[in-house]
Amino acid sequence: MKFKNHIAQGIPFDRAQNIGGVITPTIVVLHDAAGRLEHGNSANYLRTAPRGVSVHFILERDGSISQQVPTNRRAGHAGTSHYHGRDGVNDFSIGIEIVNPGRMTDAGNGKARAWYKQEFDISEFGIQAVTTPEHGSGLWMDYTEAQIEAGEALLNGLFGYIPTLTDITSHWYISPGRKVDTNPLFPLAQMRARVLGRDDVQSAEADEASAPAHQEDEMVAINVPGSTLNMRRWPSFNPNVISTIADDVVVPVIREGTFDGRAWLKVRHGGLEGWIVRSHADPITQSN
Ligand SMILES: [Zn+2]
């Protein structure tokens, strides 16, 4: 997935009415749209929603995606929220609304009823009764395979494009007791593991699985216009950031390797050694 000016290429962009100021996103927040399932219904609502509500991406039941806010601009999807000691998650997150009716109740006759009164056949829509401490009890509609696949592709695209991103979470986690989305059937742990990498390659292992810089005095220039690049303790996107490096800074390369299909460099900066994503580092060609 490619981006231009923080808009995903190949994905329809329908500009939201409520677009805030510039942000540096560090997490992605997943939501249920809690609306009707018809294609475009939630997208149309969110595009012109009242009270400052908006979101970056909408993921339809058929796996199609639309974008309404650039990834470096503030959208109004989280409300009162906090993440690891920081309030106001809209100021540092990208929101994805997944089309799903949200919590439903038993309507009898093998049907579940959404808050907006529509009833769904429990077996046809893979609806299950689940209770968790975070969600309470309810009937919940399973996500489609197309949604899970497209969601993973979108997250991989975002993490490849935005070096400041460190985590994927859901609305219930950042607004506990107030919000229950995504629903208990969403495979959040699995998604986090697949996108972020569950089994971190630790420093020693990473050294063993990588090679020394291929030339002596190899240098690279950090290339993250208007942003900073995370330097990490080991080559993965799990929360392991030890420092950030500003755009255009030139750093020496110590080792290089490929982990989970992605090229990484071990560099030295500010008295520390750590790993950076190679795609954001341009080789410096040395001439005599
Ligand atoms: Zn939500």
CB 159 within 8 A of CB 165: yes
**Token output for 65:** 């995606």
CATH number, domain with residue 121: 3.40.80.10
Q: Which residues surround ligand 1, an ion (CB under 5 A)?
A: 31, 171, 181
pLDDT at residue 120, rounded to an integer: 97
Domain for residue 112, yes or no? yes
The number of residues in the chain equals 288
217/161 same-domain check: no
224/189 same-domain check: no
Short-list 193, 169, 192, 190, CA closest to 181: 169
pLDDT, tens digit only, all 288 positions of the chain:
899 999 999 999 999 999 999 999 999 999 999 999 999 999 999 999 988 999 999 999 999 999 999 999 999 999 999 998 899 999 999 999 999 999 999 999 999 999 999 999 999 999 999 999 889 999 999 999 999 999 999 999 998 888 888 889 999 999 999 999 999 999 988 888 788 874 455 666 788 888 888 888 899 999 999 889 999 888 888 767 778 999 999 999 999 999 888 899 999 998 888 899 999 999 997 654
131/271 same-domain check: no
* Ligand 1 geometric centre to CA of 216 (Å): 51
β-strands 27-32, 167-170 pairing? parallel
223/193 same-domain check: no
pLDDT at residue 198, rounded to an integer: 47
72/163 same-domain check: yes
178/221 same-domain check: no
Domain around 147: 3-197
Distance CA 106, CA 122 (A): 9
* Ligand 1 geometric centre to CA of 126 (Å): 21
Give how many domains the chain has, as a whole number. 2
Distance CA 82, CA 1 (A): 29
pLDDT at residue 192, rounded to an integer: 84
- Using CB atoms within 10 A of its CB, is residue 61 exposed (0-12), middle (13-18) or buried (19+)? middle
Domain for residue 185, yes or no? yes
* Ligand 1 geometric centre to CA of 254 (Å): 43
**Token output for 180:** 């229950």
CB 275 within 8 A of CB 231: yes
Domain for residue 169, yes or no? yes
99/220 same-domain check: no
pLDDT at residue 94, rounded to an integer: 98
pLDDT at residue 201, rounded to an integer: 56
Residue that is last in its domain, among 164, 180, 197: 197
* Ligand 1 geometric centre to CA of 239 (Å): 23
* Ligand 1 geometric centre to CA of 249 (Å): 38
Residue that is last in its domain, among 132, 162, 197: 197
Domain for residue 288, yes or no? no
Residue that is last in its domain, among 197, 219, 246: 197
* Ligand 1 geometric centre to CA of 252 (Å): 43
Neighbours of 52 (CB within 10 A): 13
Short-list 158, 128, 159, CA closest to 143: 128
269/227 same-domain check: yes
150/208 same-domain check: no
* Ligand 1 geometric centre to CA of 178 (Å): 10
**Token output for 24:** 């540096």
**Which CA distances in Å does 88 have to 53, 168, 228?**
14, 16, 21
* Ligand 1 geometric centre to CA of 34 (Å): 8
273/221 same-domain check: yes
141/186 same-domain check: yes
pLDDT at residue 107, rounded to an integer: 97
Neighbours of 228 (CB within 10 A): 16
CATH number, domain with residue 248: 2.30.30.40
161/248 same-domain check: no
* Ligand 1 geometric centre to CA of 39 (Å): 19
Distance CA 61, CA 38 (A): 8
pLDDT at residue 217, rounded to an integer: 86
